[in-house]
Structure 1
Amino acid sequence: MAQAKVLITGGAGYIGSVLTPQLLNAGFAVTVLDSFLYGQPSLLENCWHPDFQIIRGDCRDERVLRDAIGSADIIIALAALVGAPVCDADRIAARTTNLEGIQSLLKLRSKQQWILYPCTNSGYGVGEASNYCTEESPLKPISQYARDKVEAERQVLDAGNGVSLRLATVFGVSPRMRIDLLVNDFVHRAVTDRSLVIFEGHFKRNYIHIRDVARAFQHVMARFDAMKEQPYNVGLSDANLSKLELCAEIKKLIPGFSYLEAPIGEDPDKRDYIVSNAKIEATGFQPAVSLPEGINELKKAFTILRARRYSNV
């Protein structure tokens, strides 16, 4: 096609602030719709670009959304309250944004417009030891955040001309930084506190660097006809790690870091699973940033950043 026009809802967030310049550099025309809930200036460096447009508004406002969709060829629906804690803090805002906002988008878009949807592999909830969760595994979300994302994914795929990426726990540096994500949080504590107490350290997760998330969206855009109307897990296949294993990896690069597992107490986040990323890898996608590379990157970032404002909660 001629120069493709991309609308990113929530494009000034953690992922969007990395994805937007990548798409502009790849030759796409990009419009971002964002409410700037956190007052973030993360897209300022893109304002010089003639193919970058910005709309300040709420994805739940159908008048704003209708105008924003306009002539977009591709819609990347990043707008969301991300994470169980922030969703639990305002359940109404979470549902109206994470589910009802997607329903409005599906109602207003034309059937020819592609939708790329970021789901979460936390929808797998609690897996079975040694059994990898694949896209065929049952979804058992255990938080409102995961339940709403899983239902929104179902509706996107049922509507046609959509792809869902079930993202592993994302880590890495973004102009709209977040410290409350697991790897980011642990590295931040290693740099600033030099110590960490872990609850239920055997719980496992999968991880993916933020730049690889942006690359995964571009990968789908280049192969949309072959990949459409399906979900894909997106993570590092060599990083299905427990919290204790993650701490050991961090300690290799930050030797002064000490951690211990609490003998009593529970983690309110009960997710525990390992994930197979073989399906998207079979389409030719391979992550480019390893966990150690991301830890080193974060180590440098947290030498600069110390404020707790870089989080959602």
Structure 2
Amino acid sequence: MKILVTGGAGYVGNLLTEALLNEGHQVTILDNFLFGYDSILHFLTNPNLQVIKQDIRDESRPYLQDAEVVFPLAGISGYPACEANPNSAYRINVQATEDIARKLSPDQLLIYASTTSLYGAAGTLCYEDSPVDVGNNLYSATKYQGEMSVMERENSISLRWATVFGVSPRMRSGLLLNDFVERAVKERTLVLYSPKSKRTFMHVRDSVTGYLFALKHAEQMKGQIFNMGDKRFNYSKMDLAEIINRHVEFEVIESSLSDKDIRDFLISYEKAEALGYECSISIEDGIAELVKLYRYYTPDSALRPI
């Protein structure tokens, strides 16, 4: 198949692109390469790969014409980055998504990257039809607006992801669990805000298998929203600190201050599980990978919020 991945050099995008190439698809990646080309160097010479350097805000989109499937992964991800760049967050996460969805023909499949952050601090078990609570969280608000525009099309699938973590050729150290492990390894101290708040975590490679799963089950999934994760991997921040402590010694400090990015929820993944999707990489194994990485790797502080 001919597949377009926007943000194809990003944290998830580079891994998804490689997986699609390994399955024999013809893949075009579009990226502004703000963080360079290192994440795609190991498959850059693949004859089935086409690379386009372009900002997603550029409304000239001839690359859409040939795609049978579009994965629009380009975006401003996470609460801190959106708060630091509110105008860019809206233009990229909302306007560019709306423009792509509008310009696709009915027979082109769009698989959207949404987030379980939409549920906010629900405090109850959340299903796909549960009320969203984006509150003052700009990241959640922009992703929800993008999702609504995408789901106006019949030939779209929206995947609401659990909080991803883990090692990727293009690291995102600002992700909660990645950040926790880095601080534990390098600073030997971890300050926890709202330590009892819970959410589900999933390895970045499991998110890639989720995208491939949606591609293979598109006829069953199109026109619908799916929570993507695994109920086995629901942890509080304190739970995570205790697991990390099995791999590296550090001090945990519980703060009385609340987290600005308030997320505390339990998610039902029954809908995707009923079709056969499940995660395969445990929190324990993913943390062990991160501990090994951060003993040698120091991220560029200028890139940390993104």
- Aligned positions of 1:197-216 closer than 5 A: 197-216=191-210
Helix, strand or coil: the match of 1:219?
helix
Counterparts of 1:302 and 1:123 in 2: how far apart (Å)?
A: 30
- Give the superposition deviation at 1:9: 0.7
The answer to whether the 8 A contact 1:32-1:54 is kept is yes
Helix, strand or coil: the match of 1:177?
coil
Counterparts of 2:243 and 2:272 in 1: how far apart (Å)?
A: 26
Aligned-residue CA RMSD in angstroms? 1.2
Question: Which amino acid in structure 2 is aligned with residue 37 of structure 1?
Answer: L
Question: TM-score w.r.t. structure 1 length?
Answer: 0.94
2:23 matches 1:26: yes
The answer to whether the 8 A contact 1:40-1:176 is kept is no
2:103 matches 1:120: no
Superimposed CA distance per residue, residues 183-242 of structure 1 (whole angstroms, 9 cap, x where no aligned partner) = 101111111112211111111111111001000000011110101111111113112111
> Match of 1:312?
305
Superimposed CA distance per residue, residues 76-108 of structure 1 (whole angstroms, 9 cap, x where no aligned partner) = 010100011111112111100000001110121
Question: Which amino acid in structure 1 is aligned with residue 54 of structure 2?
Answer: G
- Give ranges in structure 2 of 5+ residues lacking alignment: none
> Match of 1:110?
105
2:132 matches 1:139: yes
- Give the superposition deviation at 1:248: 1.1
2:79 matches 1:87: no
> Match of 2:186?
192
Helix, strand or coil: the match of 2:36?
coil
The match for 1:70 among 65, 68, 92 is 65
What percent identity do the matched residue pairs reach?
38
2:269 matches 1:274: no
> Match of 1:225?
219
Alpha-carbon distance change, 68 to 312 in structure 1, aligned in 2, over 3 angstroms: farther
Question: Which amino acid in structure 1 is aligned with residue 104 of structure 2?
Answer: R
Question: TM-score w.r.t. structure 2 length?
Answer: 0.96
Counterparts of 2:119 and 2:253 in 1: how far apart (Å)?
A: 27
Superimposed CA distance per residue, residues 244-268 of structure 1 (whole angstroms, 9 cap, x where no aligned partner) = 11111111232x1221212x32211
Question: Which amino acid in structure 2 is aligned with residue 179 of structure 1?
Answer: S
Greater shift, 177-186 or 266-275, is seen at 266-275
2:259 matches 1:259: no
Counterparts of 1:271 and 1:250 in 2: how far apart (Å)?
A: 21
Greater shift, 244-253 or 110-119, is seen at 244-253
The match for 2:239 among 235, 245, 257 is 245
- Give the superposition deviation at 1:40: 4.7
The answer to whether the 8 A contact 1:177-1:311 is kept is no
- Give ranges in structure 1 of 5+ residues lacking alignment: none
Question: Which amino acid in structure 1 is aligned with residue 198 of structure 2?
Answer: K
Counterparts of 2:150 and 2:11 in 1: how far apart (Å)?
A: 22
Question: Which amino acid in structure 2 is aligned with residue 84 of structure 1?
Answer: Y
The answer to whether the 8 A contact 2:59-2:99 is kept is yes
Counterparts of 1:103 and 1:306 in 2: how far apart (Å)?
A: 36
Counterparts of 2:243 and 2:300 in 1: how far apart (Å)?
A: 24
